[in-house]
Amino acid sequence: MKNQKLVSGLMMVGAVALLAGAATMITKWTGAPYLYCGGALLFVAMQMIDRYEGQDFVVKRLRRQQLLGAVMLLVTGVLMFAERHNGWIATLTIAALLELYTAFRMPEK
């Protein structure tokens, strides 16, 4: 239980850093990609720690979708550093939709 609270807390910190980095990227602040990538790494790491060992096919599929969303969050960070185009917005949108969908569809473990 104590470990789960720590994982949830760190995931929340990562999510706030993600949001702050994405919001400040729009203003062209030079530190925004660093803030975003730090939050993305923390958020994705905590998602990787939270494993599912059950046999439910639906939950396994949703978990794969969630991990695909996590990979898209990392791709967004790479595109933020490239900053030639606004492609990071598209990957961030895809990641957000995947994460949101799995958050509402995945039952309690």
Q: Which residues contact 13 (CB under 8 A, 6 or more apart)?
A: 39, 42
Higher pLDDT, 2 or 35: 35
Half-sphere exposure of 27 (CA within 13 A, CB side): 8
d(CA 73, CA 18): 9
Q: Is the pLDDT of residue 20 over 80?
A: yes
Please tell me the predicted confidence (pLDDT) of residue 99: 93
Amino acid at 52: Y
Half-sphere exposure of 34 (CA within 13 A, CB side): 3
Amino acid at 17: A
Q: Is the pLDDT of residue 1 over 80?
A: no
pLDDT tens-place string over residues 40-95: 999 999 999 888 888 888 888 999 999 999 999 999 999 999 877 888 999 999 99
pLDDT band at 109 (very low <50, low <70, confident <90, very high): low
| Helix axes of 57-82 and 87-105: crossing angle, nearest 10 degrees | 160
